[in-house]
Amino acid sequence: MPKQELIGLSAQRMQQLLTAMGEPPYRGRQLYHALYHEQQWDLKKILTLPAPLRERLAQEFQATLPQVEKKFQSADGTSRYLLRLADGCRVEAVQMPEPARTTICLSTQVGCAVDCQFCLTGLMGFGRNLTPGEIAGQVLLLTEKNASRATERLNLVFMGMGEPLLNYENTLEAVRLLSDPEGIGLSVRRMMLSTSGIVPGIEKLGMERVRPQLAVSLSATTDVMRDSLIPINRKWPLQELLRACREFPLRSREKLTFEYVLIAGVNDTQDDARRLCRLVQGIRCKVNLIGLNPGPELPFKTPPDELVVRFQQILIHKGVPAYIRKPRGRDIFAACGQLKLAEA
């Protein structure tokens, strides 16, 4: 019989498992603590548990992380990990070290069904949803591989492969696991989930007690343009999307982030910048501008830097905080929208 996977299970679930084995509930909590807090994945080495129980656990269960199939190292310090999951499916995670902090970009699905016309993940189509353990496992793996404790200044962004709000329950369960102070213990304030604009998901997220910050990929200022770039806009057009953003209950000092991928000659005019300001008016927010990361398969071009700066200036002039996201790891296909399981 195949062994049951433990990574991804909640404290409550582990307690249930161990009580079903005839053990007291605190043994479940010890197991949970050993796996997620101490990151001891060799069940035989969990010394807080009695030896016979360790043996039995090792026979029936396993604690496994995604496997690194390949690691690509960018000149700017970014690493892209090509990961293999238990069933052979592959996803990617990206690690971006900076002097004061590290950011890990996580995948939530194999491929993506949204099919944004400027995104290489979209071109792959949809495979399947990741489980909570496969999502949280990316963090456990990358922090282990870099010998840094998971609790160091670590930012998590749910911006890798996939649309997190189309894998809502598993993504939120992963967030709860990653932020549980009894376990991995990362701060939800340092987590950001990015969505292409799944309105019911945004509404649901707003009601969560434990939730990451929200980023919305706008990338167009008219429905005609957004319909053509991000097909789900036909289902949830700009007006509805912005209503959901306006109603999103922000915490004190929290801002909503809008991402805007600038594509040369498509959505990068001064009129677009002005329309963008009008769209986000009244929302406590900032805008991250991302110059299109190119790919040979894409029919689009990156606008010149001066144009990106001019776009930014218009936003700032109108009182909308705007930042230019500098591309990381473009040389190894690790930048936004470039995750396509490239093997070189």
Token duo for residue 295: 């790919």
If one asks whether residue 290 binds ligand SAH (CB under 6 A), the answer comes out as yes
Annotated active-site residue in 23, 92, 134, 259: 92
For position 78 contacting ligand SAH by CB under 6 A, the verdict is no
CB 313 within 8 A of CB 275: no
- Size of the residue set binding ligand SAH (CB under 6 A): 17
Q: Binding to ligand SAH by residue 334, rule CB under 6 A? A: no
> Rule CB under 6 A: is residue 159 a binding residue for ligand SAH?
yes
How far is residue 7's CA from residue 62's CA, in Å, rounded to a whole number?
8
Instruction: Using CB under 6 A, pick the residue from 57, 106, 116, 280 that binds ligand SF4.
Output: 116
Residue nearest to ligand SF4 (CB): 122
The listed partner (ligand SF4, ligand SAH, none) that binds 261, CB under 5 to 8 Å by sort, is ligand SAH
Query: In angstroms, rounded to a whole number, what is the distance separating the alpha carbons of residues 216 and 238?
Result: 11
Is 254 among the residues known to form the active site?
no
254 is written with which tokens?
A: 């929290």
Q: Residue 191 Cβ, how far from ligand SAH at the closest point, in Å?
A: 13
Q: How far apart are CA 23 and CA 20, in angstroms?
A: 7
168 scored as a contact of ligand SAH (CB under 6 A): no
What phi and psi, each to the nearest 5 degrees, are found at residue 13?
-65, -40
Buried b (16+ CB within 10 A) or exposed e, 10-46: bbeebbebbeeeebeeebbbbbbbbbbbebbbebeeb
- Strand 102-105 to strand 154-158: parallel, antiparallel, or no bridges (unpaired)? parallel
Tell me which residue has tokens 């009580």: 19
Give the number of residues in contact with ligand SF4, rule: CB under 6 A: 11
Q: Would you count residue 118 as binding ligand SAH (CB under 6 A)?
A: yes
263 binds, among ligand SF4, ligand SAH, none (CB under 5 to 8 A by kind): none
Binder to ligand SAH among 18, 85, 110, 119 (CB under 6 A)? 119
Spatial separation of the C-alpha atoms in residues 200 and 121, rounded to whole Å: 23
| Per-residue x/- track, 194-223, ligand SAH (CB under 6 A) | xxx--------------------x-x----
**CA diameter of the chain:** 70
Active site residue 173: no
The item of ligand SAH, ligand SF4, none sharing an interface with residue 292, based on CB under 5 to 8 Å by kind, is: ligand SAH
Give, rounded to a whole angstrom, the gap between the first and last alpha carbons of the chain.
37
Q: Which of 5, 245, 336, 343 is catalytic?
A: 336
**Does residue 133 bind ligand SF4 (CB under 6 A)?**
no
Q: Using CA atoms, how far apart are residues 124 and 114, in angstroms rounded to an integer? A: 10
Q: Which is nearer to ligand SAH, 115 or 180 (CB)?
A: 115
Scanning residues 128 to 157, which ones bind ligand SAH (CB under 6 A)? none
Amino acid code (one letter) for 3: K
Chain positions 34 to 53 lying near ligand SAH, rule: CB under 6 A, are: none
C-beta of residue 81 within 8 angstroms of C-beta of residue 71: yes
C-beta separation of 206 from 248 below 8 A: yes
Interaction between residue 112 and ligand SF4 (CB under 6 A): yes
| Active site residues per annotation | 92, 336
Positions in the binding site for ligand SF4 (CB under 6 A): 112, 114-116, 119, 121-122, 162-163, 196, 337
